[in-house]
Structure 1
Amino acid sequence: MSTSRKHKDFVEEPMGEKAVTALPGIGPTLGASLSQQGFDKASLLLGQFLLLKEDTDKFADWLKDVCGASARQAAPCSQCLKEWCDAFL
């Protein structure tokens, strides 16, 4: 699977206070929807990903349910979080 520049940039460094829109697949519209749900930082999405035991499929389904993300949006986001965990946890 080819990764985007956004994906590579995210995985290459600690998360810090990055906005949720720093994750691949999360643009301004989806980011606004997530922010309304209380997920304005990438670290908060990471927390949900960890609660779902780093299962990319479950996280993608959760993302679809919470904010109406499409499979095209959810898959790169969940894969990026998985790779970030592999690198930093």
Structure 2
Amino acid sequence: MCSTSQKHRDFVSEPMGDNLVTELPGIGSVLGSKLSEAKFTKAYNVLGQFLVLDKNEELFVGWLKETCSANSKQAGDCYTALNAWCDEHL
């Protein structure tokens, strides 16, 4: 298993609540701003898209790259965190 960031561990261990999109691992202020412009302001909005795409890594990473210009690492970190969160909480 690969190591994860503290942000990842914190995100996965807590309920989603009303966390802002910038609470997602891989998403900082620049990408968060771009996601907000696309009407994805909360982490649960991105989770919804993740679920609509059937938790498919290729589709989700592609969507994140297209929507907010995330690079492969940022999109992968976000995918990994959402997938782990779903395993923990759903």
TM-score (norm 1): 0.97
Aligned residue in 2 for 1:42? 43
Q: Aligned residues: percent identity?
A: 52
Q: Any stretches of 5+ residues in structure 2 without a counterpart?
A: none
- Number of residues of Structure 1 aligned to a counterpart in Structure 2: 89
Q: Any stretches of 5+ residues in structure 1 without a counterpart?
A: none
Is the contact between residue 64 and residue 71 of structure 1 (CA under 8 Å) also seen in structure 2?
yes
Following superposition, the deviation at residue 77 of structure 1 comes to 0.2
Following superposition, the deviation at residue 80 of structure 1 comes to 0.3
Mapped to 2, the partners of 1:73 and 1:48 lie a distance apart of 16
Mapped to 2, the partners of 1:62 and 1:86 lie a distance apart of 21
The within-5 A match list for 1:1-89 is 1-89=2-90
CA RMSD of aligned residues (A): 0.6
Is the contact between residue 56 and residue 82 of structure 1 (CA under 8 Å) also seen in structure 2?
no
Is the contact between residue 18 and residue 41 of structure 1 (CA under 8 Å) also seen in structure 2?
yes
AA in 1 matched with 2:64: L
Mapped to 2, the partners of 1:80 and 1:56 lie a distance apart of 11
Mapped to 1, the partners of 2:6 and 2:51 lie a distance apart of 24
Runs (4+) off by over 4 Å: none
TM-score (norm 2): 0.96
CA offsets 1:7-28 (integer angstroms, 9 cap, x no match) = 0000001100000000111000
